[in-house]
């Protein structure tokens, strides 16, 4: 999916919601087996219940990789069940150099045909080159994350006076175009969003942390929106685990709809 196609879907739906399929098999509602088969059945029901209200899905690969071969099969079948109109993200946080990166890119852009993958930029430009070589695919680079440990490196000041995350944003933005690169910015970092937008005004931001992690959708939109909206706000647990009972799909639908309604008002 291209940037223009994604923007078109956002404008048409008046929603920039991305549903995170962080489908921990131990948290599945009643009636599902606590295994890869149960995860797949659950994911299909969640996708069917939420597709009308979102523009994308983010699959956190860790929840599938930890189940071995059957987990990978569940991930592949989950991806196949997502409508082609929706943007798909492999939240895999890969990052390596040379041939290793090329195989990661092949895995998540060809074998599993995701539209985008999350990557860590710590190893530098040559660790992203293999991903950026693909056309009509997005490389989503970790920018400023919500976790407490982000202070260890991302928010350390350099000798230039800028924070490390600011240097990462500025440099990575020159390695490709806004048609290829997005950045992850945590929803709890709204105080920094205005500054981040001054560094990368035209790129899409993938924003996790709204909902269960306490991020404000209104603040994220106010400080993060650009001329093409430029936001994919991800909500995972608040939607997919809205209920642990037999009404889980209905509650997921309502939760996704509530986000979409708020987003329409903010646009």
Pairing type for strands 87-94 and 116-119 reads parallel
153-193: pLDDT as tens digits: 998 999 999 999 999 999 999 999 999 999 999 987 788 99
Structure token digits, residue 96: 């390596």
Query: Predicted confidence band at 147 (pLDDT cuts at 50, 70, 90)?
Result: confident
Cα Rg for the chain, rounded, in angstroms?
18
User: Does residue 211 have a pLDDT over 70?
Assistant: no
Structure token digits, residue 209: 């942390």
Q: Report pLDDT for 137.
A: 98
Q: Torsions phi, psi of 58, nearest 5?
A: -115, 115
Q: Torsions phi, psi of 128, nearest 5?
A: -105, -15
DSSP 194-253: HHHHHHSSSSEEEE--BSTT-B-HHHHHHHH-BTTB-EEEEE-HHHHTS-SSTTHHHHHH
Residue 2: count other Cβ atoms within 10 Å of its Cβ.
13
Q: How far apart are CA 234 and CA 34, in angstroms?
A: 25
The domains located in the chain, with CATH, are 3-266 (3.20.20.70)
* Range of lowest pLDDT (28-37, 38-47, 74-83, 210-219): 210-219
Q: Report pLDDT for 24.
A: 96
Q: Report pLDDT for 146.
A: 84
Structure token digits, residue 95: 């990052």
Structure token digits, residue 84: 């082609």
Over residues 107-125, the mean pLDDT reads 97
Over residues 221-248, the mean pLDDT reads 95
Q: Report pLDDT for 213.
A: 63
Q: Report pLDDT for 209.
A: 81
User: Does residue 214 have a pLDDT over 80?
Assistant: no
Mean of per-residue pLDDT scores for the chain:
95
Of 174, 195, 169, 171, residue with least CA distance to 184: 169
Residue 4: count other Cβ atoms within 10 Å of its Cβ.
10
Over residues 214-237, the mean pLDDT reads 92
Over residues 113-139, the mean pLDDT reads 97
Single out the catalytic residue among 93, 106, 189, 251: 93
Q: Report pLDDT for 212.
A: 60
Catalytic residue check, 222: no
Residue written as tokens 């608040």? Answer: 238
Over residues 88-108, the mean pLDDT reads 96
23-54: pLDDT as tens digits: 999 999 999 999 999 999 999 999 999 999 99
């Amino acid at each position: 999916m291209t940037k223009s196609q994604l923007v078109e879907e956002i404008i048409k739906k008046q929603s920039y919601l991305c549903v995170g399929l962080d489908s921990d098999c131990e948290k599945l509602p009643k009636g599902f087996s606590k295994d890869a088969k149960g995860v797949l059945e659950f994911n299909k029901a969640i996708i069917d219940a939420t597709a009308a209200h979102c523009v994308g899905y983010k699959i956190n690969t860790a929840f599938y990789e930890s189940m071995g071969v059957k987990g990978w099969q569940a991930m592949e079948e989950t991806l196949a069940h997502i409508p082609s109109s929706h943007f798909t993200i492999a939240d895999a946080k890969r990052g390596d150099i040379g041939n290793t990166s090329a195989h990661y890119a092949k895995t998540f852009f060809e074998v599993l045909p995701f539209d985008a993958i999350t990557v860590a930029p710590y190893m530098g430009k040559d660790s992203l080159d293999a991903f950026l070589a693909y056309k009509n695919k997005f490389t989503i680079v970790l920018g400023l994350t919500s976790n407490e440990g982000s202070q260890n490196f991302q928010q350390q000041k350099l000798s230039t006076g800028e924070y490390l995350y600011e240097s990462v944003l500025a440099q990575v933005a020159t390695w490709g175009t806004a048609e290829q690169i997005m950045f992850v910015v945590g929803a709890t970092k709204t105080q920094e969003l205005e500054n981040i937008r001054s560094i990368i005004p035209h790129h899409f931001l993938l924003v996790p942390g709204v909902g269960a992690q306490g991020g404000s959708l209104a603040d994220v939109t106010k400080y993060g929106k650009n001329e093409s909206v430029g936001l994919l706000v991800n909500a995972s647990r608040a939607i997919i685990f809205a209920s642990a009972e037999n009404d889980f799909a209905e509650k997921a639908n309502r939760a996704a709809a509530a986000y979409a309604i708020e987003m329409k008002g903010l646009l």
